[in-house]
Amino acid sequence: MEHFDCVVIGGGMVGAASALTLAQLGLQVALVEQYQAKNYSAEQEIDLRVSAISLASQNLLNQVAAWQQIKAWRVCPYKRLGVWEHESAYTEFNADDIEQTHLGHIVENRLIQLALWQQIHAMENIKTFCPDSLVSLTQDNDKVTLALTHCSITAKLVVGADGAQSKVRQMTAIGMTGWDYQQSAMLINIETSQHQQDITWQQFFPTGPVAFLPLSGESTLGGYASLVWYHQRDEITRLASLSNVQLEQAVLKHFPKKLGAIKVLGKGAFPLTRRHANTYQHKRVLLLGDAAHTINPMAGQGVNLGFKDVVALQQVIAEAIGNGESWHDEAVLARYEKKRRKENLLMMSTMDALYVGFSHPSPVIKAARNLALLAVNKVPFLNSTIKNKALAYACGL
């Protein structure tokens, strides 16, 4: 049976980044992923699944030498972030305010994954098992034994990065708390006539926000963008059943005028669920990314939190190796959860507070939240402290 220092289950964005950062420490790593990713070509349509990648996540992708490739394929940097409910309380955040050239990039998830996998194939100390899948997992005192579909392997540490429905989480009987938001998000790729490619914006409605995310490239109409439409699940199911032309009319009716003329290219609906694993550790097994936490995507923080988990785990193990400790001791591994749990919880709770606050129908609460946005934009003291701190936090700085 082959033995590894670390086995990472799940080669999505978080698992692939974790395999690379663990390999950077000189550890022998195995990466198990059930699906083989499709190669990139410039003719491929822009994928529906895109993420707003923070400055902190960009740093990580740079550190594992994947960012240059992602950037060479296609990314869209944005410099401004607009948020409002009532037009008069429009608030804009700008990269200049925190002395940065941009606030983040909109990137297709699959391109991030693909660029990470290119680096993985270049590392001698990472062995990939793909397509392969986790079948069972057993732990004894000094190792974890994993049965995969095609073979069995052992490890000192197992990283569960196998997404929201994590089998690793289920096999270690780690429970979770969570709830269903009773909402879905519809992702719509469009061609757009209005040139506003340096901004991402979001308007709040009692039924849920609508958002505009710029995408790279030039189309016959002008540019490309991704729209996110949050609403009750039934309404999103109805919208998903419309033809592209009918959906275009529905978008124009519901979205703010600043969207301009559009052409719908593709659409897909995703249910929104909050989950938080009761613990991120079971002996020598750790959970990272969506396997540990899923968050309301309203502020685009899900994978950014997952990448922070990756950085934290690398730091914990690097420090232990540096101190001459046995890096895979359960007590050492426990430091990972200590670094991450509070911050993940804070971000999840902040998103929920915003979500609940902005969907509350009371006119008093509506007036209060618009006044708060107005104050943050117009009162100089609040503008330079709260606003810039919130912006730096959202950028992961």
Ligand X SMILES: Cc1cc2nc3c(=O)[nH]c(=O)nc-3n(C[C@H](O)[C@H](O)[C@H](O)COP(=O)(O)OP(=O)(O)OC[C@H]3O[C@@H](n4cnc5c(N)ncnc54)[C@H](O)[C@@H]3O)c2cc1C
Q: Which residues bind ligand X (CB under 6 A)?
A: 9-15, 32-35, 51-52, 109, 133-134, 161-163, 167, 185, 187, 270, 289-290, 297, 300-304, 306
Q: Which is nearer to ligand X, 223 or 297 (CB)?
A: 297
Exposed / middle / buried, residue 26 (Cβ in 10 Å: 0-12, 13-18, 19+): exposed
Give the separation between CA 220 and CA 240, rounded to whole angstroms. 25
Residue type, 161: A
Between strands 50-54 and 176-192, the pairing is unpaired
Q: Least CB distance from residue 331 to ligand X, whole Å?
A: 26
Closer by beta carbon to ligand X, 33 or else 337: 33
Rounded to the nearest 5 degrees, what angle is found at the Cα of 325, between the Cα atoms of 319 and 330? Answer: 95
* Closer CB to ligand X, 208 or 306, in the complex: 306
Could you tell me the smallest distance in angstroms from the CB atom of residue 373 to ligand X? 21
Report, in Å, the least distance between residue 163 CB and ligand X: 3
Please identify the residue of the shown chain whose CB is closest to the bound ligand X.
12
Smaller CB separation from ligand X, 9 or 46:
9
Determine contact, residues 356/349, Cβ cutoff 8 Å: no
Nearer to ligand X, 167 or 275 (CB): 167
Rg (alpha carbons) of the chain, rounded to whole number? 22
In angstroms, give the least distance from the CB of 166 to ligand X.
7
Q: How far is the CB of 48 from ligand X (least distance, A)?
A: 9
Q: How many Å apart are CA 46 and CA 332, to the nearest integer? A: 42
In the complex, least distance from residue 270 CB atom to ligand X, rounded to whole angstroms: 4
**What token pair was written down for 280?**
């991120």
Give the contacts of 373 (CB within 8 A, at least 6 positions apart): 83, 84, 85, 89, 90, 91
Q: In this structure, what are the phi and psi dihedrals at residue 130, rounded to the nearest 5 degrees?
A: -160, 125
Nearer to ligand X, 134 or 316 (CB): 134
